[in-house]
Amino acid sequence: MPPGHQSSGGSVISRRQLWALVALTLMWGTNWPMMKFSLRELSPMYFRALTMTFGALWLYSFYRIKGVRMLPRGAEWRSVVTLGLPNMLGWHTMSILGVKELASGRAAILGFTMPIWTVLLGVLLFGEKLTRRVSFAAAAVALAIGLLTFNELTTLAGHPLGIMWMEGAALSWAVGTLLIRRAHLTLPIETLTVWMMVLTSGCLWLIAGLREPWPTWQFSALMWASLAYGALINYGFAQIIWATLARHLPPVTSAMSIMAVPLVGTLSATLLIGERPTWQDFVAMLCVMGAIGAVLLPSQKRPAAT
């Protein structure tokens, strides 16, 4: 997932951009059940370390060939570390632990509460205005989390800890997004992304070695395909598409894409791994989509009186 984005605010999207955005939304959404499938044969930290390492190498090679400056200089390394901790290490570590505990569609719904946490943290920490739309978004997210928590607590094999992992991941991503918005970056965003992934991969290999047994590497063909999806699609092509689109998408378009990811994640989980969403999942999904729309979609200004 992207650490954050800035849009140029244009109002027209080309057909090529539209198809790229549809592909990106499908990639992000489908990645949730693919992660859940991978965790059947591989432990969480080794899965993250393996896919992110190869994804970073693939991105580095691609951008190097494109002529992007790929080596940070001097104080730019500080930005890589300070922004990488919440955006990459925090988000990817806690989210994979959440996916391990929860249904993948449910994890996607909770993970994409990030935009609302970003706005609320902006209100609490940076004095941003608390509007009616922000208040509505907060109430909608609280309802969604409450529904999913109640469902987990009332299920015999429930995993409320997974909800805590996913909300911790969403909060970490939100903090990282706020830091990126206020950072004075002198290195290309592509370079920042790649090196955040490289440093995070090293941390994940260390964490995996300390807390998880060494894998046997004797996986099924479908498992290898799932790992390839994580490295080449989620950490590769999806990042390239987003880096290309993020600076040119109209705000309403990028918001709608983010809103669609939990829906795609929930529906694809049914098709790919046989998860059966409950009514609480669907209501929570609608709450989160509505909350994202409330904080990301631009408001309609009333026309001036003549």
Please state the domain count of the chain.
Answer: 1
**From the CB of residue 124, how many other CB atoms can be counted at a distance below 10 Å?**
10
Q: Residue 157's pLDDT is what?
A: 54
The answer to whether residue 144 is domain-embedded is: yes
Of the CA atoms within 13 Å of residue 254, those in its CB half-sphere come to: 24
What local confidence, expressed as pLDDT, does residue 241 receive? 86
Residue 8 in domain: no
Residue 191: the pLDDT is 95
The predicted model scores a pTM of 0.85
What pLDDT, in 10s, does the model give residues 13-66? Answer: 678 888 888 898 899 999 999 999 999 999 999 999 999 999 999 999 999 999
Across the chain, which has 306 residues, the per-10-residue mean pLDDT values are 46 74 90 94 97 97 96 94 95 96 90 86 84 86 85 66 92 90 90 96 97 94 95 92 71 66 88 88 89 76 50
Q: What residue type is 15 in one-letter code?
A: R
Q: Evaluate whether 55 touches 286 at the Cβ level (below 8 Å).
A: no
127 in any annotated domain = yes
Cβ(141)–Cβ(174) below 8 Å: no
Residue 301 lies in a domain: no
5 in any annotated domain: no
In a domain, 303, yes or no: no
**What is the rounded distance in angstroms from the CA atom of residue 20 to the CA atom of residue 36?**
25
The overall average pLDDT reported for the chain is 86
Question: Quick check: is 306 in a domain?
Answer: no
Domain that holds residue 289: 15-296
Length of the chain: 306
